[in-house]
Amino acid sequence: MSEVHQHDYAELLDFAYDLAERAAKLILDGATARWKQAEDEYEVKKNPVDLVTETDQAVEEFIKGAIAERYPEHKFIGEESSEGKAKPVLTDAYTWIVDPIDGTMNFIHANPNVGCSIGVTHNSRPVVGVIALPFLGRIYSAHEGGGAFMNRTIPLPLTGGIPQPLTQLSHCMIGAECASSHGWRDLMKGGSDRRPETIDVKLPNFRRLNGDPNKGISDGVMVHALRTTGATTINLAHVAAGELDMSWDAGCWAWDVTAAAIILKEAGAFLQGGKEEFARDAPIGEVLMCRRYVAVRAVAPSRTESAEEIQRRLSRELYAVVDEWTTPSML
C-alpha cells in the first residue's frame, strides 16, 4: 500500500470515527425518546418497529448526508437505503457500507448489544472500519496498515495487543446466532428466519458443538461455550477484541461485516466466507458480499503451525461439524 493511500485511509478513519461518535449519540437519544414516550400510560404509542425504524433511518440519513457532503464522489451502501432494492454490488470505487443499527431487536428490548457499523472499501477490499457500541461506551476502529484499537488508544486484541495461544476447536468460545433474523422487519411480521428449514439445520449444529461425546452425543465436540449477542457486528467485534475465539453465521449482509473485516485484519484475526468460499480462499471483496462468514481471533503460533495455519485449521474443523442453512433472502 502506498503512503498516499495510507494517508487517505487515516483521514477517512478520522471522519468515520467522528460520524460513529455522533451516530452513537443519535442512537442513545432515540432510546431515551422511546422511554419518555412510554411514561404516559394513556398515550397512544407507536409500536416498537415504528420507533426503531425512525431511529434506524435517522442515523443512516445523517451518516449518508455527511458523507455526500464531504466525499460527493464516493458510493454508499446502507441497510436502510438498500431495503427492497436489488442486491448491492461492490466495485473498486470508494464505497461506504453502513449498518446504522445492528442488533435492532436488542434495541427494542433495551439490551445493550447494539452496534453502529461504518466501513469503507476501496479497490474491492475493506480499508476503514469503525464500530460503535453506544450503550457500552466502546468504539472499535482500524484503517489498513494502521492497527486496530478500542476507544482510539487501546490496542486489539484486548490481551495487551498480544495474541494468546489457541490450538483446539474444543477450547473455543464461539459466537453464533440461534434464533436471529437478519431481516428483522420480516421477523416482526412472522419470522422468515424461524422456518423449520432453518431451525432444523441450526439446532443440530448447536447440539454437536455443545455435546459431550462421553455422555452419549457421539458426534459432539464439546466446545468451551457458545455465545449469542443478537448482532453479527458485535460478535465480530468481540472476535477482534479476543473476547470470542470464533464466530460463524449466515444470512447477514455486507453492512454487518465490512467495518469488522478491516478491524479483524488489523487485529491479526482471520475472516473468510462460507464453506465454498473458504475452500477456494475467495478474495475479501467476494467474501464481504457472500453472506456467510467465519472468523477466528488473533492467535499465537505454535511450534508446528503459523498463526494463520491455526486459524485456517480451526475454521476447517468448525465447518466439518456444522451444516449451512439458507435464508429466503439469500436465494
**310 — phi, psi (to 5°)?**
-65, -45
Q: Say if residue 19 is exposed, middle or buried (CB neighbours under 10 Å; 0-12, 13-18, 19+).
A: buried
Active site residue 99: yes
323 annotated to bind ligand:
no
Active site residue 317: no
Catalytic, out of 56, 80, 102, 193: 102
Distance CA 64, CA 191 (A): 29
476507544: which residue's cell?
Answer: 151
Catalytic, out of 53, 55, 95, 104: 104
Which residues have C-beta within 8 Å of that of residue 193, sequence separation ≥ 6?
179, 180, 181, 182, 183, 186, 187, 251, 327
Catalytic, out of 56, 60, 80, 99: 99
Pairing of strands 154-155, 148-150: antiparallel
99 annotated to bind ligand:
yes
101 annotated to bind ligand:
yes
Active site residue 79: yes
256 annotated to bind ligand:
yes
- Count how many Cα atoms sit within 13 Å of the Cα of residue 260 in the half-sphere of its side chain: 35
Active site residue 256: yes
- For residue 141, the SS3 value is strand
Active site residue 104: yes
Active site residue 310: no
Catalytic, out of 56, 79, 193, 243: 79
29 annotated to bind ligand:
no
Q: CB–CB of 240/140 below 8 Å? A: yes
CA–chain centroid gap for 206, Å, is 20
Catalytic, out of 77, 101, 284, 310: 101
Catalytic, out of 256, 262, 266, 284: 256
As annotated, the active-site residues are 79, 99, 101-102, 104, 256
Q: Residues forming the annotated binding site? A: 79, 99, 101-102, 256
Q: Residues forming the annotated binding site for Mg(2+)? A: 79, 99, 101-102, 256
